[in-house]
Amino acid sequence: MVYAIIVAAGKGLRMQDSKRKQYKELDGKPILAHTLMAFDRCDSINQIIVTLPAKDLDFCRQTILPAAGVKKKTELISGGERRQDSVHNGLNAIKKDDGIVLIHDGVRPFVRQEHLMACIEGAQKQGACILGLPAFDTVKEVNAKNEIVQTRPRDNLWLAQTPQAFEVKLIKQAHASAKEDGFIGTDDAALVERLGAAVKMIPGSRSNIKITRPEDLKLARALLRAGGFDS
């Protein structure tokens, strides 16, 4: 079995709008609907789990799912206070420990089909893999005063994206260990890394943007107008 957990329980504060970012419209549909459509098109994915704010479950069932036209088995569950808590809730909805799970940001609607397949195949072969991009700008480390401490060599630095794909048993173990130790990671791969497991990096796409700020939404609309969204 291949599962997909779509994380969409965020408050979207950086969007500077009362409307949550995952529900903002993009080409006539909510961003989250576009994301769901991409995963619904992937024949290798068997089940989709969406984590949402608890009070939005009915809204999404009545509005987002019809807009996306999802045909796969899809379960809507309540997210948690933090992203990591939401993923943990999503993993708890997977009753078996075998199979592969893809974990993806609900506001990354431009993920390509070939990258979904690459993540599935990578996790099947190695146990854990994520999409990412080599750092193409110079990377500076700064202190609390925004003063540069040092310039980091970027040859081996990558920017992480989603989806991140794992053997179900491995990522459940990683989340359980993090919860027990009170560890909070910035992504799911970090939780697996601290177990000592190898995580393979798969080259992603610069169009696989995460829509978190108003300027990101403008960029997303420009990508659609330019035909830059290759699903």
Q: What is the DSSP string of 114-159?
A: HHHHHHHHHHHHHSEEEEEEE--SPEEEE-TTS-EEEEEP-TT-EE
Q: Do residues 68 and 74 lie in contact, with contact meaning Cβ atoms separated by under 8 Å? A: no
Q: What pairs with residue 50 in β-bridges?
A: 6, 76
pTM of the model: 0.93
* Sign of the four-CA dihedral 112, 114, 117, 122: negative
- Please, which residues have CB within 8 angstroms of residue 73's CB and are 6 or more apart in sequence? 46, 47, 48
Q: What pairs with residue 134 in β-bridges?
A: 158
Q: Is the pLDDT of residue 112 over 90?
A: yes
| Alpha-carbon gap, residue 63 to 190, rounded angstroms | 34
CA dihedral 199, 160, 103, 219 (to 10 degrees): -160
Q: Is the pLDDT of residue 177 over 80?
A: yes
Where do the DSSP E strands lie in the chain?
Answer: 2-7, 25-26, 29-30, 47-52, 73-78, 100-105, 128-134, 139-142, 148-152, 158-167, 200-203
Structure confidence at residue 85 (pLDDT)? 97
Q: Is the pLDDT of residue 224 over 90?
A: no
| Alpha-carbon gap, residue 11 to 28, rounded angstroms | 22
Residue 228 binned pLDDT confidence (cut-offs 50, 70, 90): low
Task: Report the candidate in 65, 61, 57, 48 with the shortest Cα–Cα distance to residue 6.
Answer: 48
Least confident segment among 44-53, 164-173, 192-201, 219-228: 219-228
| Alpha-carbon gap, residue 222 to 133, rounded angstroms | 21
Q: What phi, psi does 104 have (nearest 5°)?
A: -140, 145
| Alpha-carbon gap, residue 46 to 2, rounded angstroms | 5
Percent of the chain with pLDDT over 70: 94
Q: Is the pLDDT of residue 12 over 90?
A: no
Structure confidence at residue 16 (pLDDT)? 46
Residue 19 binned pLDDT confidence (cut-offs 50, 70, 90): confident
The residue with greater pLDDT, 21 or 13, is 21
Q: Is the pLDDT of residue 59 over 60?
A: yes
Structure confidence at residue 225 (pLDDT)? 83
For residue range 183-204, what is the model confidence (pLDDT) as tens digits? Answer: 999 999 999 999 999 999 999 9
